[in-house]
């Protein structure tokens, strides 16, 4: 284990702790300096990407007891919505356009989403229908 002072690609300085062979450490240092963002810039970039996806998909506002809880729920929703973006857009479109699909209730979708939260139907439910931060966190967090 060794600590290194580096300059991230964003220009900020920081200290990282690396393990492993010297060659592997050197490779990681080069990555941080050429590509990696400092923790603060990475957080800002993630928020920008989350905002962009939420606008693009017209996702509802998440409500919670604190900003920290809401931010965490948004980050979990971003991951699953981004992974299943095309599929959840298709489900939303079909629920509007298809009479047979429209007969499937939100409650039926909810039940299936709770059974398999990391499935396509779970991604749809926790992206478009569920707005409670606590419920989103409880179902989407990876233990």
What are the tens digits of pLDDT across the range 19-55?
Answer: 999 999 999 999 999 999 999 999 999 999 999 999 9
CA dihedral 63, 130, 71, 140 (to 10 degrees): 140
pLDDT at site 99 = 66
pLDDT at site 143 = 58
Q: What is the mean pLDDT of residues 130-135?
A: 97
The model's pLDDT over 121-130, given as tens digits with 9 standing for 90+, comes to: 999 999 999 9
pLDDT at site 105 = 86
Distance CA 78, CA 110 (A): 19
The model's pLDDT over 57-116, given as tens digits with 9 standing for 90+, comes to: 999 999 999 999 999 999 999 999 999 999 999 988 888 887 666 678 889 999 999 999
Which residues, in sequence order, are CB contacts of 97 under 8 Å at separation 6+?
Answer: none
């Amino acid at each position: 284990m060794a600590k290194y002072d580096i300059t991230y690609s964003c220009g900020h300085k920081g200290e990282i702790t690396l393990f492993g062979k010297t060659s592997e450490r050197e490779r990681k240092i080069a990555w941080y300096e050429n590509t990696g963002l400092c923790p603060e810039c990475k957080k800002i970039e993630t928020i920008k990407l989350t905002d962009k996806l939420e606008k693009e998909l017209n996702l509802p506002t998440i409500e919670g007891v604190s900003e920290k809880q809401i931010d965490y729920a948004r980050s979990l929703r971003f991951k699953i919505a981004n992974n299943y973006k095309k599929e959840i857009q298709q489900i939303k479109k079909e629920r509007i356009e298809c009479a047979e699909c429209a007969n499937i209730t939100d409650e039926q979708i909810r039940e299936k989403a709770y059974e398999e939260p990391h499935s396509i139907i779970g991604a749809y439910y926790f992206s478009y229908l569920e707005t409670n931060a606590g419920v989103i966190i409880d179902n989407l967090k990876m233990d």
